[in-house]
Chain A
Amino acid sequence: MNLLEARQVHLWRGEIHVLRGVSLSVAAGQCLQLTGPNGAGKSTLLRVLCGLLPAADGQILWRDADCTRDASPLQRECAYLGHLSGHKGELSALENLAYLCGLRRRCSEAELDAALQAVGLHGGAQRRPLRQLSAGQQRRVALARVILQQTPLWLLDEPIANLDVQGQELFNGLLAGHLASGGLALIATHQPLAVAEASLLRLELAA
């Protein structure tokens, strides 16, 4: 069964016709990789799907319910990771996560700690102000947030930017676990994803 479906989605930004009839359907356990040249509308498509941008035309379905006008049923089950992380440099990784995850569900300190350990942030790094961490470490905190939100749908925009080789392997492991547990993911990236061919879909957006 297809959990997420988009039918003929159109969007204009000013005079530019960014999304020209994009259709996609993703089932549980599948990963859709969005590719295309810069400016093709990969980020825009992800923002439309999670309800940040209203589509000019077309339909977005989540669990067969229409979420084009009111995206809240989809949003409750969707973790969105964009170019902006929503992190505050003055707060520690733990404090940032406690807030961002608390918006959706109650998270215990132990859960936060476990998620940060899972992305490779241990001990002191968890409690230092986030601005003292490197860009790659901050990206890892953002990934920890996506895990903690425990949603079936992941919408990720360049999740492996700034990550080192180990970080990319770590991400591939997290993604495989997510798909194996029946989750689905839409990922805008040019880097190859380590996902089994059977569950990997590709969508190329034209410039």
Chain B
Amino acid sequence: MRRLLLAVMTLWWREVIRFFRQRSRLISAFAQPLVFWLLLGAGLGQSFRPTGAPETTGYFEYLYAGIMVLVLLFTAIFATISIVQDRREGFLQGVLVAPVPRWSIVLGQALGGTTLALLQGVLFLVLAPVVGVHLSIASAPATVGIIFLLSFGLTNLGLMIAWRMDSPQGFHAIMNLILFPIWILSGAFFPISGVPVYFEWVMKLNPLTYGVAALRRCLYLDNAAGAGEIPQLAFSLLITSLFCILTYVGATRTAAS
């Protein structure tokens, strides 16, 4: 057992060290969503007001939670995309012939990616007061908790893709065709109320919708009305937890085959 823990820890630590030694990755995973937020928030703020949210919530504030999830998604992808190359001509080759089970390799990688996303997420959380989201003793730790869950689920999703891909280009294609649309249709970009019915169903079936909802619920823990018309916290947490478990199992299975 100690041996397995040692393997998980060492792989986890390696991901963290690598990330910090590649500053450009660190910065771009954070800066890209930030720029996106500033441009869209400023550009759409005057002409677009989110439906189902309180009068006082501007688009800038609405988009905040969505951009938070995008920061997590980008970090998770940046952390996992390197695995494609690493497996074929890198450190991972050696890991694959070491006497450790695949699930422990995946767990180490998942925790590594999760740690990085969590750090970036907390860094972004510092900006909350700027848009008028005031964190309290209750809502701040709750938000960090949900950021952790989301980071873990998204990293697992990244791992599921990375272990299947033969080239980083393939990963980029999946990112543009699947991951980005999942984010757009999660209530991160525009609210679920006010979209056509068929669209509403797509959004309701999207697991990330509940991740974004859980995040909003936690950010507005002390002011439930501020979160707008979105799924309840308990149900959102349940779906997000299930998402984490299923993606972890999925990633382990992909790695084992």
Q: Do A and B bind each other?
A: no
A binding-site residues for B, Cβ under 8 Å? none
